Homo-oligomer: A and B are copies of this chain.
Amino acid sequence: MKFVMLGTGNSAMMPVYGCDCSACVQARHDPRLRREKSSAYLHHNGRKLLLDANAPDLMQRFPAGSIDTILLTHYHMDHVSALFDLRWGKAPILPVISPQDEQGCDDLYKHPGMLDFSRRAQGFTPFSWYDVTVTPLPLKHSRPCLGYAFEWQDHCIAYLTDTNGLPLETVTWLQARKVDWIITDCNYAPIECEKTRLSMNHSDIIQTKIMFEQCQPVNMGLIHVSHDLLEWANDNPEQFSSQYQILMDGQEITL
C-alpha cells in the first residue's frame, strides 16, 4: 500500500501569489518546495482512492477509469474544486463518499454529471474499500468534516484534515491502536495566545505537538501548511524530526 501526497499546502499554496517572504521566495526558485492544496491518494492492489479533489492536474494525472473512488473530507472549495471540471466527463459513474452536508459546494449536487454523491460517511462507522477498513473520524472544523483511518493487515494510517486539534472521541479511537502515521493539518506557526489558538479553524504547531503526545503515532506528517509555518520551520529546524515532519508534495509513504 502506497500513500502519495498530491499537495501539502493550504488554500494559498506555495509560493503565495505576490508574496516575497523568505519561504515564498525559496519556493518560487526551487520547484521541489512548491505546494499545491492538500490532497492525497491511496494506491493499493492497482486501485487508486483519491482523498479530496483539488489537484490542478487531476484530469491529466488520473485519466478516466484510473480512479476507483473519491473520498472527501469536507465541502470547502479548496478540497473539492477539481470536481467542477471532472463532473462533465464522459466516463462511468464515479462514487464520491463524503460527510453528510446538506449544501455541499455550489451546484455540485444539482449538476453532479458523472459523479455520484449518494454514499455518506459517518463518524466511527467503518466501511470496506476492498481489503482496507476505512474508519471516518470526526474532526473540528467550520463545517461537517471527517478524517479517515485506513487499516490493512497490521497497518494503520490516519489522514486528519481540516481540523484544529481533535475531538476527544477521535483521540480515544487513535490511542487504542498502533498508528503508523497520522497525517494532519498544521496551518499555523505557534499561536501564543491560547484563546486565539483554540478559536481557529486549523491547528497550529502547538496543537499538532499535543496531538502527537496524546495519540503517540509512530510518525506524524504535517500538511495544509502556510508560508508562515514554513518560515518558522526554517528558523526552528530542531522542532522537527523524521518522526515529526512537514510532508512535501509528491512524497510517498509505503506501508
Contact = CB atoms under 8 A, between A and B. Distances in A.
Contacts of A250: none
A91 B18 contact: yes
Interface in A7-23: 11-13, 16-20
Nearest to A78: B84
A19 B17 CA distance: 34
Contacts of A20: 90
A16 B65 CA distance: 14
A78 B108 CA distance: 12
Given A77-B107, A106-B106, A59 B90 contact: no
Contact of A17 (B11, B56, B89, B105): B89
Contact of A77 (B18, B86, B106): B106
B88 A12 contact: yes
Contact of A105 (B65, B91, B106): B106
Contacts of A89: 12, 16-19
Tell me if A's interface is mostly helix, strand, loop or mixed.
Answer: loop
Nearest to A19: B90
B11 A90 contact: no
A64 B11 contact: no
Nearest to A21: B90
Interface in A68-90: 77-78, 81, 84-86, 88-90
Given A11-B85, A11-B88, A84-B77, A64 B107 contact: no
B90 A13 contact: no
Contacts of A11: 84-85, 88
A179 B107 CA distance: 36
Interface string A217-253: 0000000000000000000000000000000000000
A9 B81 CA distance: 18
A213 to B, nearest CB: 31
**Nearest 7 Cβ contacts at the A-B interface:** A18-B64, A17-B89, A18-B91, A12-B88, A19-B90, A18-B89, A106-B106
Interface of A: 11-13, 16-20, 56, 59, 63-65, 77-78, 81, 84-86, 88-91, 105-107, 114
